[in-house]
Every structure is written in C-alpha cells, then in structure tokens.
Amino acid sequence: MNASDDTSPPGFTTLNRFPKLFEQHSAVKMILDAETGRIVDANNAAAQFYGWPLEVLKQMSIQEINTLPPEELKAVMKKGVMAGSTSFEFRHRRADGSIRDVEVFSSKIESVGKDFLYSIIHDITDRKHAEEALWQSEAGLQAANEKLRQQNEEMQIILDSSPIKIFYKNSENRYIRINKKMAEAAGLPKDAMEGKTAFEIYPNQARHCWEDDKQVISSGKSKNGIIEQVEGATGTRWVQTDKIPYRDKDGRIIGIIGFSIDITERKHAEEQLQAINIELEKRVEQRTRELQETQAKYLHAEKLSAIGKLSASFAHEFNNPLQGVMTILQGFKRWSGLEEEDKVLLDLALRESLRMKNLIRSLQDFNRPSPGKKIFMDVHASIDSLLLLCQSDFRRKMISTKLNYEERLPQILAIPDQIKQVILNLLNNAADACLRNGGVITISTWQEEKNVAIAIKDDGIGITPEAMPLIFQPFYTTKPEVKGTGLGLSICHGIVRHHKGEIRVESHPGEGSTFIVLLPVKPVKGE
C-alpha cells in the first residue's frame, strides 16, 4: 500500500511506515470498511489468490466474495469490530467460481472517525481436506500433520511480521505461541518463553495479568484497552493490551489471544502535558493574585491623591476665615482698656493663629502643582515646613525628632515640591518603622563634596537583608495591606535620579534604618 495511494484510508500510520510489508507480503491481506464491507485496500497476493485484477478487487465488496448471507456476514463483522482482534473461518468465492475455505485474522483499526478491519486471509482448504482425510487413514493423518506444521510455520511468519506484540496463552497461563516482537520486548528467545507460565517470565507483574486472563476465559468476553507497566529488555514500559478468548473447533474456550502495543512515549507526553497544565494553572492563579494586589494598590494611590487634593482645598477655604480672625485679634490687642491677663491671652491666640496660618501655607505649597522647573531652594526651610505637617502625627505616636543641621548649608537647584515629596515620604516611612511608642527620628544635613546630604534615621524595626535589594522596586512593600502602595520609595528613587542624585540605605533588623539623600549643589553638566 503506497502512502500516496488515494484509495488508502488516511491515518493508518503504522501500515504507512511499512508499505512494502503490505504490498509485497506473500500473505493475503485486505483492509475493509467495517460498516459497508467495501474493500478499501488489498495487496498483490490477494489479487493473485482471488483471480481479480488488483484495481477491480479494490472496487468490490467483501459480500461478493464471502458466501455467508449478507445479514449474517454483517453481524460477524460487527462482532469483529467489538472484539478488536479476532479470527474467523469462512468460505470465499474466487473469480473462476471456485470456493475456498479460509481463516481470517482481523484487527480493528480506527481512522478519521471510522472503523476498519485489517484482515490477513489464509487459505485453509487443504487443511480442511487434510482434517477430513485424518479420519480416513494414518497416511492422511501424517499428511495433515505435515500440512499443519507448514501452516504453523507460515502463520508464525505472518505473526512475526506484525509490528505489534502478539501472544497466545492457554488456560493454565502458559505461553503457547508468541511472535518476534513479543520476544524482543521481553528480551528473551522465543524458545525460552513458549511453554512457560507468565509467573516464570514476569514474576513481579504476572498476578495482575493472570487476573485479566481468568476474567476473559470465564466470561468469554474480550477485554480491551488494558494499560499497565511491564519490565522488559529496555526497562519499564507502558503497554496497552487487548485480550480475546480463543476457542477450539467445538467452541470451548481454551486460552486467550493477546495483542499489545507500546504506548510509553504517549504516556510520557500525557504526563508532560498534565504537568504543563498544572504549572499554567499555578501561574494563572499567581498572576491573578498579583493583578488583584496591583489593583488594590492603585486604588489606594488614587485615594491618597484625592485626599491630597481635598486637603489643599480645605487649606484654601480655611485661610480666609483665619485671616479675618487674626485681624480681629490684632484689633482687640490695640484696645487700651485690656487687662494685662487679657493681653497675654490675645498674644497666645495670635501665636496659635499664626502657627495655623503657616501650617496651611505649608499644606498649600506641598499640594501646589509643580512648574517642572528647577529653582534654588533652602533644604532646611523645606524640612521645617514638612515637620510642621507631621507634627500632629508624630505627637500622636509619641515620636520625637532630633535635628543636626549643618550651619552653612548651600542651597540646591531643584524642583522644590518633588524634593519635599521625597523628604515627606522618608519621614512617613521612618514613623511607620517606629512600631513602639516613643521612637526617635533624627534628621541630619551636611555637605559632602559637591552634594548636599540629607539623612533621616529611625530607631525602628529595620530592614531584612532579603528585602534590601527589593525596596526600590515598584509595588514592593513590607507594610500591611492598604497601608502602603509600594510606590513611595520607587518614586523617591526616580525623583532623586532625575536630579542626578543618589539614595543610600543603611539598615539592620531591630536596629533601625538610615536613608541618605545626596543632591548636587550646582547643575550637572548637560542639564
């Protein structure tokens, strides 16, 4: 059967790999459509045996050859499909009208959603005649025995040519006949296997196989698609086996016939596919969690932005009434009829009002949109204004601050609100690190070569060595959920790099952390 032959059913991969084995083999071979009985393909031996040209034979139906009534033949073919692999004896009609007794070995093949029967036809007319002659004379018996021996040899040749493992075991679990493929898989000569029980050849797995054999023998029904692991010449292999009952001429079950194929590669592919599916499911779950966490952090960032805008709006609305209150207090202060005690209270009220005004101005400055241009700014003044914003939060957490300012610290050329954002974020992180009440935040400044250095130190929980390489990555945070977005240090790092500066971190678990921001005093060449 040629791989390019349009009359050959697609999908017969095993047969297509050995086309000459089908075409040139001396045994009569056919492939039948299991439903219609049409002869899909046949070899040259079939054409010679039946007497029709090969092309004519391929256009015929098996009903034109088999002498069984159509309905009976259809039932037999259906039985063969259901059994998977079986054998029958028929009487076939040849082109010259002669009738021959044949034994047909059929195996089901599935392709393109249809069932086909791969049949090997052996002419047993002479054997039949020999069997009849057996009852007539001793000479006939000897002739029949010789004929049977030759037929057995021919049958063994056919079996050995099969690409699948084939074996026959009797009702005592002994191998009576095996083919070459079966012996190769076991790594033993055929003579060493035939006549021995499966327990002698496969001691570790024969019990399970024997249970299947007994079930087939006792029920008289085939058992197909048995998947199991076996030890062979090439190690442990996965095989799929079909077992059918074998009957004598009186219909008694005397053993089983087995057809086995190696599915190790398919099994490994299935296991790999299953492992890939499990890994993909894990990745999807992990990615889903990451997306959910990212969404929560973005929502929190949006809330922070909205709060900032709202606080700026409140500051603007409070500023005008506060200015009116201060004007009234200043007017009362100029009143000559005030007692000394009243003047002290008015001075206190004016100082507190002025502090509120400075706080509102700092809040407005911090939330005012950046012009995006660098100007000279006083680092100390910016830190003081931010400490004023943090004063209430620090007081609530009982956090004290220490200032170690350089006396003559030069101004830097920077975008003020961005630098304030960096300092405020570091102050908030330092406050969050002071989990126990009574923490201390130390702010130091100094000039380091051509840079101004700002150090913010806390005596909090510190940072673990494992987290140190990750703290500047976007969305990485050690804070509880919703408390931090994981964007603060990442944004700070970006702002400082934009100013051609640098952030250093020194930290030990349980000993606190120090963040040092270095910013150039003069513009870097190329800005």
What domains sit in the chain, N to C, each tagged with a CATH number?
Answer: 13-123 (3.30.450.20), 164-262 (3.30.450.20), 268-367 (1.10.287.130), 369-527 (3.30.565.10)
- DSSP secondary structure letter of residue 66: B
Q: Report the DSSP beta bridge partners of residue 165.
A: 260
Does position 60 have pLDDT exceeding 90, yes or no?
Answer: yes
Query: Which residues, 6 or more positions from 267, have their beta carbon under 8 angstroms from its beta carbon?
Result: 238
Which tens digits make up the pLDDT trace of 11-51? 454 455 556 667 777 889 999 998 899 999 999 999 999 99
The pLDDT of residue 378 is above 80? yes
Predicted local distance difference test score (pLDDT) of residue 305:
58
pLDDT for the residue numbered 486 = 42
Say what the pLDDT of residue 312 is. Answer: 64
Q: Give the helix ranges, DSSP H, for 368-460.
A: 379-396, 416-433
Please report, as a single letter, which amino acid is at residue 289.
R
Q: How confident is the model at residue 1 (pLDDT cuts 50, 70, 90)?
A: very low
Q: Is the pLDDT of residue 408 over 50?
A: yes
Residue of 297 and 416 predicted with greater confidence: 416
Which residue type is seen at 495? I
DSSP 68: S
Q: Is 74 exposed, middle or buried (0-12, 13-18, 19+ CB in 10 A)?
A: middle
Q: Let me know how long the chain is.
A: 527
Mean pLDDT of 119-134: 84
How distant, in Å, are the alpha carbons of 304, 467, 482 from that of 296? 12, 22, 7
pLDDT in tens, 463-519: 887 877 767 665 556 555 434 444 567 778 888 888 899 988 888 888 888 999 999
Lowest model confidence (mean pLDDT) among 49-63, 125-139, 392-406, 434-448: 125-139
Residue 436 confidence (pLDDT) above 60: yes
Q: What are the pLDDT digits (tens) for 244-293?
A: 888 888 888 888 888 888 888 888 888 888 889 899 999 998 888 888 77
Residue 346's pLDDT is what? 79
The whole-number pLDDT of residue 454 equals 94
Report percent pLDDT > 70 for the chain: 78
With 50 as the cut, is the pLDDT of residue 10 above it?
no
SS3 (DSSP) at 261: strand
Exposure string for 359-370, b = 16+ CB within 10 A, e = fewer: bbebbebbbeee
For 168-201, b where at least 16 C-beta lie within 10 A, e where not — what string? bbbeebbbebbbbbbbebbebebeebeeebbeee
Binned at pLDDT 50, 70 and 90, residue 302 comes out as low
Determine the pLDDT at residue 369.
53
Residue 443 has pLDDT above 90, yes or no: yes
- Terminal-residue alpha carbon distance, the chain: 80
Which helix (H) or strand (E) covers residue 358, if one does?
helix 340-367
Q: Which helix (H) or strand (E) element contains residue 359?
A: helix 340-367
Mean pLDDT over the full length of the chain: 79
- CB–CB of 117/35 below 8 Å? no
Which tokens sit at 466? 């494992």
- Give the torsion through C-alpha atoms of 435, 437, 438, 444, to 10 deg: 30
Q: What's residue 211's pLDDT?
A: 79
* Residue-level pLDDT at 452: 94
pLDDT tens track for 198-225: 777 777 666 667 778 888 888 888 888 7
